[in-house]
Amino acid sequence: MEESTIYMEEVRGETLKKILRESEGDDGRIQEIGFMVGETIGRLHEGELIHGDLTTSNMMLGEGGEIVLIDFGLGSVSGGVEDRAVDLLVLERTVQSSHPTLDSILLPKVWEGYLSVGGEWGGEVMGRLEAARIRGRKRECFG
């Protein structure tokens, strides 16, 4: 405990959930945001940090135009491909349920931004993401 420090700052901006809802119909803006989200998550994962609850309510678009991740209550430290893929799967399912009309516009750009940071390990994570999707579909079909 003596060697640990918590830094806090006030983040001024709006949740990504609100921004995306306000941006419906502006595909260019949504794609721009998606790419920035992917880059941000890629940098997080590059540092071997797992958010644990990647939702559009836990992301903010700061006043400076940057994506800020908030609420690391379920966060952990891991460089594991599976942990990273599950982090992305949570985001994907959130987008599909909270922003169903935007998922086909937003998610490809998120993955593009992620891979722009992740390179080779990012490709491994995306492969594992597909495997996690398949496992999820089987669980939904067969219990």
Q: With CA atoms as reference, report the closest residue to 14 among 59, 81, 52.
A: 59
* Catalytic-role residue among 53, 71, 83, 87: 53
Q: Report the alpha-carbon distance of residue 19 to residue 100 in Å, rounded.
A: 15
The greatest distance separating any two alpha carbons of the chain, rounded to the nearest whole angstrom, comes to: 50
Residue 83 known to be catalytic: no
Dihedral class, residue 79 (left if φ above 0, else alpha if ψ from -120 to 50, else beta):
alpha
To the nearest 10 degrees (0 to 180), the angle between helices 27-46 and 81-98 is 160
Q: Which residues are catalytic?
A: 53
